[in-house]
Amino acid sequence: MTLHEENYSLLKTVEWKDNKVVMIDQTKLPNQLVFVTFDDFNQVADAIKKLVVRGAPAIGVSGAFGLALASLQSKAKTKQELLEDLKIAKEILFKTRPTAINLAWGLEKIMNVANSGNSVEQIKTLVINEANSMAEQDIETNKTMGKNGSELFENNDTIMTHCNAGALATVAYGTALGVIRAAKESGKIVKVIATETRPVQQGSRLTAFELKHDGFDVSLIPDTAVGYAMANGLVNKVVVGADRIVRTGHVFNKIGTYQVATMAKQHGIPFYVAAPLSTFDMKSNAKDVIIEMRKGSEVTGIGDKKTAPDDIKVINPAFDMTPPELITGIITEKGVAKPPYEESIKKLFEDT
Ligand code: MRU
């Protein structure tokens, strides 16, 4: 299948088909559209680690599907044995990436359902059904979030986004890009500026690709041009996704988000975050959140091409923290939280 044969917006990033997990291999985009099929939860864990699937909601659902595979792989004869096997699989899946809370959320949800079953067969069915309904719910949540957020945008806005919080970061539709999609669907003309997002280039490889494919007016800029774009009036608003939001409104998202938010503040440009409630961590403090550190080769080269001297020391954090004072609003499926965030975030959960 070539990229152009497909209506991209209808494709699912991750899906359960014939008792297997099917994913788009995002490491191959934008040059090839390749689907990979897994029947072993260890393969799913490996795919999460290697960014075959990435983006907080997508890895949450992938973790859930991983446990569904683990339940089918298990040779357990009793409920207790099956729960033990699932627990081992859960630990392996959980250890793949530390920052996005959606992974823990997805795994926990499946474990709770598994615990509620009576027999081995019933647990397997419950686990598979729950993982599938999480995948369906993800799309619905994104659409509701999109509608809530689209009202914050005006006709002829140019919206900057960082990394990929699109269809490819979720099961479909996207969070930050879902909001932009919904603004367009509501009849507004919107343009998008996508940052390249070094080192892994989710912005150029995924966001620019996804939006261009779906007919958006999108321009790609290097990360270093964020200040230029804002200072020269090229941007009206910013919307990004999140990997974890703590109850104080501190937002953890792709490395570079903090720079974009700081620059937006400097230029008086509204800076929004779009994320489902599954991305909120109401227990941790901002200082306790683990920032994933990735291998140096992501920085010392682009693809296979080496762009740095041999043996150079590298610092490669995958995420950073944006403090609440830089954030204009947090768009969720339950509405838009505004400062002070301790109160407005608490309220989102009280109403659920
Ligand atoms: O390292 P990645 O590609 O998984 O990082 C993804 C991001 O930082 C996204 O902005 C975030 O997960 C939100 S996705 C809806």
Q: Give the model's pLDDT for residue 10.
A: 65
Answer yes or no: is the C-beta of 274 below 6 A from any ligand 1 atom: no
Q: Give the model's pLDDT for residue 8.
A: 52
User: Catalytic residue at 85?
Assistant: no
Q: Give the model's pLDDT for residue 328.
A: 98
Q: Which atom of ligand 1 is nearest to the CA of 54?
A: 4
Q: Which atom of ligand 1 is nearest to the CA of 166?
A: 15
Answer yes or no: is the C-beta of 205 below 6 A from any ligand 1 atom: no
Q: Are 266 and 230 in contact (CB under 8 A)?
A: yes
Q: Give the model's pLDDT for residue 2.
A: 44
Please tell me the residue having the least CA distance from ligand 1 atom 15. 165
Answer yes or no: is the C-beta of 141 below 6 A from any ligand 1 atom: no
Exactly one of 223, 243, 304, 351 is catalytic; which is it?
Answer: 243
Q: How far is the CA of 8 from the centre of ligand 1 (A)?
A: 19
The residue whose CB lies within 8 Å of the most ligand 1 atoms, and thus the one to mutate among 202, 252, 255, 333, is 202
Q: Which atom of ligand 1 is nearest to the CA of 170?
A: 15
Q: Which atom of ligand 1 is nearest to the CA of 100?
A: 12
pLDDT in tens, 28-39: 999 999 999 999
Please tell me the residue having the least CA distance from ligand 1 atom 6. 55
Give the β-pairing of 251-254 and 244-246: antiparallel
- With a cut of 50, which residues of the chain have pLDDT below it? 1-2, 5
Q: Give the model's pLDDT for residue 40.
A: 98
**78: CB partners within 8 A, 6+ apart:** 120
Answer yes or no: is the C-beta of 54 below 6 A from any ligand 1 atom: yes
Token pair belonging to 282: 């109401």
Answer yes or no: is the C-beta of 97 below 6 A from any ligand 1 atom: no
Q: Give the model's pLDDT for residue 11.
A: 81
Answer yes or no: is the C-beta of 324 below 6 A from any ligand 1 atom: no
pLDDT in tens, 117-161: 999 999 999 999 999 999 999 999 999 999 999 999 999 999 999
Q: How many CB atoms lie within 10 A of CB 48?
A: 24
Q: Which atom of ligand 1 is nearest to the CA of 292?
A: 1
The runs of H, that is alpha helices, within the chain are 41-49, 56-73, 79-94, 101-116, 120-150, 176-185, 202, 208-213, 226-231, 257-266, 297-300, 341-350
Answer yes or no: is the C-beta of 199 below 6 A from any ligand 1 atom: no
Answer yes or no: is the C-beta of 170 below 6 A from any ligand 1 atom: yes
Q: Give the model's pLDDT for residue 167.
A: 96
C-alpha torsion 8→148→242→169, nearest 10: -10
Q: How many CB atoms lie within 10 A of CB 124?
A: 20
**5: CB partners within 8 A, 6+ apart:** none
Cα angle 254, 255, 259 (rounded to 5 degrees) comes to: 115
Q: Give the model's pLDDT for residue 7.
A: 53
The residue whose CB lies within 8 Å of the most ligand 1 atoms, and thus the one to mutate among 54, 162, 251, is 54
The residue whose CB lies within 8 Å of the most ligand 1 atoms, and thus the one to mutate among 254, 259, 260, 289, is 254
Answer yes or no: is the C-beta of 55 below 6 A from any ligand 1 atom: yes
Q: Which atom of ligand 1 is nearest to the CA of 319?
A: 8
